[in-house]
A and B are shown apart, each in its own frame.
Chain A
């Protein structure tokens, strides 16, 4: 049943919508519109003159091999971070859901990383893996592993993936744990009597019932990976070496802020926005159908 409210006047409903609308307009529609407008402009290096160039910025962008590299990096980065953080969080949540001694402390500790700012998280991981000073890096070197995120692009990508996933595990863990606790215990008991061993119980009963949670987290994680990992990349690798960790959002910053190409940067952010909107739409259309609410 749908619940509807009825208002006597015409003004009240609009007044109630106002705060939310204002926030959306000021922080989304205005800057997004400005980005679209700017993506049609070309500015000289000193900001003295501005020229309207129609789609030239986009043409330049789409013929730039660096842009395609950033796309590939973003794809690899987002798949790796999302998979890693979701599966680690699920594993931890399933363990924390068991009645263990000290489960409360365990849960609290697992939630802490979420309170760490992205840049701090990046620096933490950098400290551990910095080739000449880091403890873990030192251990790897003694084991004969040639580890250097400053020079090796694979190492650099691995490091930012680990840092980004580690930070997101807490959030995912919280939601998975809440999802697990919402499953009635009698369902698990019924499945046990029905002859399903723990592994089968997990995949046929628990996991399908967690799928709404997993779907929500997938959407949130992808948006996180696309935008919020900027701080980590900036602190750890600056997008290097040789663009190996330059994701789309980092390239927007790099070309616009450091490169001074505001028009091109705006065009990139418009494309990035379109990609995220499309991804979210696809998720809601296709994945939601297979989700059991």
Chain B
């Protein structure tokens, strides 16, 4: 067991812009760290640097108490699950799992014991003699997991392991991965672009954008206190509404109650999550107004009712920007009607217009 410590890690490909810039964080022993961000943000590069598949241009990567910058992948005591599973097509499931142990000259008796144990945990026992091409996507995924766990590594690395599965299987495998990691107590670093996967798996979430870390923290902390506009809009679905407030240009029409906010002279962005916009229905004020609340007049353009909740898309002040609201239950407003939506003071997020950083208020 070991922690993973990154200090000022950077990667520059020859004659190109930096892919990863000055990244430092520590994944505690037994922790589940998820690197999340849009494609091209450098998350996979960072993972491959931890694995030893990419050279480290700057900084230092430690696994346990050892600096591994120049250590070969095989000697880092890691196991990796690839996006395309990377199973050896010419070997049986058994041989796929045994390969890493055989390379390390493990006695055959111990190999078969370890493979049997992994097959039992992953419910792969009936398939040990099959070739990967005779398995379904979910089974291949489990073989890839099995290949990782038989080695009993100090760190698991996952490179978008679920993105080739269909939505239903992805949900089930997500739960299994989390259970397995808890059960084995192994440190894990997991890369994904799916924010739902990131939120549900992580103890520690690292949001990356254009090669830099935007924010690190527990998933719900990031949801509740995003430090940047990017994090605010990346975490949560539908994404957080952003309204530009520039005092010199005048406030957008249909927006009420922002006078008390500490707006910088240069302007700010006001962020409101869709689920924090409550609608008043037919004069029956379900929402009692408190001082400091912000009220938005939205003209409804589209209503998506999915049963347990309803998504309402409307224009601010009739012809302003589109705002999304998420209501409990069925709220079937006809298109074209104008309603007032209220957001509580404590649910408002303010970001500096120029830097995109959070402003305390």
Which residues of chain A have a CB within 8 Å of any CB of chain B? 184, 186-187, 189-197, 200, 204-205, 208-209, 292
Given A194-B100, A194-B147, A205 contacting B88 (CB threshold 8 A): yes
A195 to B83, CA, bound (A): 20
List chain B residues, Cβ under 8 A from A189. 51, 53, 73, 80, 82, 86
A186 to B160, CA, bound (A): 13
List chain B residues, Cβ under 8 A from A292. 89-90
Residue B104 at the A interface, CB < 8 A?
yes
Is A195 within 8 A of B88, CB to CB?
no
List chain A residues, Cβ under 8 A from B51. 189, 193
A292 to B87, CA, bound (A): 14
Interface core residue of A187, A195, A209 (most chain B CB under 10 Å): A195
In the A-B complex, the 4 residue pairs with the smallest Cβ-Cβ separation, listed nearest first, are: A194-B100, A292-B90, A195-B103, A186-B86
Which of B72, B73, B80, B103 sits near A200, CB closer than 8 Å?
B103
Nearest neighbor of A190 in chain B, beta-carbon distance: B86
A191 to B74, CA, bound (A): 9
Is A193 within 8 A of B103, CB to CB?
no
Is A204 within 8 A of B82, CB to CB?
no
Residue B84 at the A interface, CB < 8 A?
yes
CB distance from B87 to the nearest CB of A (A): 8
Is B84 within 8 A of A193, CB to CB?
no
List chain A residues, Cβ under 8 A from B272. none
Interface of A is mostly: helix
Is B74 within 8 A of A195, CB to CB?
yes
CB distance from A196 to the nearest CB of B (A): 5
Is A190 within 8 A of B80, CB to CB?
yes
Residue B78 at the A interface, CB < 8 A?
yes
Which of A184, A191, A197 sits near B99, CB closer than 8 Å?
A191
Is B90 within 8 A of A193, CB to CB?
no
Q: List 29 A-B contacts (CB under 8 A).
A: A184-B84, A184-B86, A186-B83, A186-B86, A187-B88, A189-B51, A189-B53, A189-B82, A190-B88, A190-B147, A191-B88, A192-B53, A192-B72, A192-B73, A192-B74, A193-B52, A193-B73, A193-B74, A194-B100, A194-B147, A195-B104, A196-B103, A197-B74, A200-B103, A205-B88, A208-B90, A209-B89, A209-B90, A292-B90
A191 to B86, CA, bound (A): 9
B143-187 contact mask (Cβ, 8 Å, vs A): 1 or 0: 000010001000000000000000000000000000000000000
CB distance from A191 to the nearest CB of B (A): 7
Is B79 within 8 A of A193, CB to CB?
yes
- A-B residue pair count with CB separations less than 8 angstroms: 56
Which residues of chain B have a CB within 8 Å of any CB of chain A? 51-53, 72-74, 78-80, 82-84, 86, 88-90, 99-100, 103-104, 147, 151
A189 to B81, CA, bound (A): 11
Interface core residue of A187, A192, A194 (most chain B CB under 10 Å): A194
Given A192-B73, A292-B90, A186 contacting B84 (CB threshold 8 A): yes
Nearest neighbor of A291 in chain B, beta-carbon distance: B90
A196 to B86, CA, bound (A): 15
In the complex, besides A187-B88, A193-B74, A193-B79, 9 extra interface pairs with C-beta distance below 8 angstroms are: A186-B84, A187-B86, A189-B53, A189-B86, A190-B82, A192-B53, A193-B52, A193-B78, A205-B88
A192 to B103, CA, bound (A): 10
A212 to B80, CA, bound (A): 28
Is A194 within 8 A of B53, CB to CB?
no
List chain B residues, Cβ under 8 A from A190. 80, 82, 86, 88, 147
List chain A residues, Cβ under 8 A from B86. 184, 186-187, 189-190
A205 to B86, CA, bound (A): 11
CB distance from B31 to the nearest CB of A (A): 21
List chain A residues, Cβ under 8 A from B103. 194-196, 200
List chain A residues, Cβ under 8 A from B84. 184, 186
List chain A residues, Cβ under 8 A from B90. 208-209, 292
List chain B residues, Cβ under 8 A from A195. 74, 100, 103-104
A204 to B98, CA, bound (A): 13
A186 to B157, CA, bound (A): 14
Nearest neighbor of B48 in chain A, beta-carbon distance: A189
A193 to B156, CA, bound (A): 11
CB distance from A213 to the nearest CB of B (A): 13
List chain B residues, Cβ under 8 A from A204. 99
List chain A residues, Cβ under 8 A from B82. 186, 189-190
Interface core residue of B80, B83, B90 (most chain A CB under 10 Å): B90
Nearest neighbor of B53 in chain A, beta-carbon distance: A189
CB distance from B127 to the nearest CB of A (A): 18
List chain A residues, Cβ under 8 A from B88. 187, 190-191, 205
A200 to B88, CA, bound (A): 14
A192 to B73, CA, bound (A): 7
List chain A residues, Cβ under 8 A from B83. 186
CB distance from A95 to the nearest CB of B (A): 21
A187 to B85, CA, bound (A): 9
A64 to B147, CA, bound (A): 62
List chain B residues, Cβ under 8 A from A193. 51-53, 73-74, 78-80, 100
CB distance from A15 to the nearest CB of B (A): 38
Nearest neighbor of A207 in chain B, beta-carbon distance: B90
A208 to B89, CA, bound (A): 10
CB distance from A102 to the nearest CB of B (A): 16
A187 to B83, CA, bound (A): 11
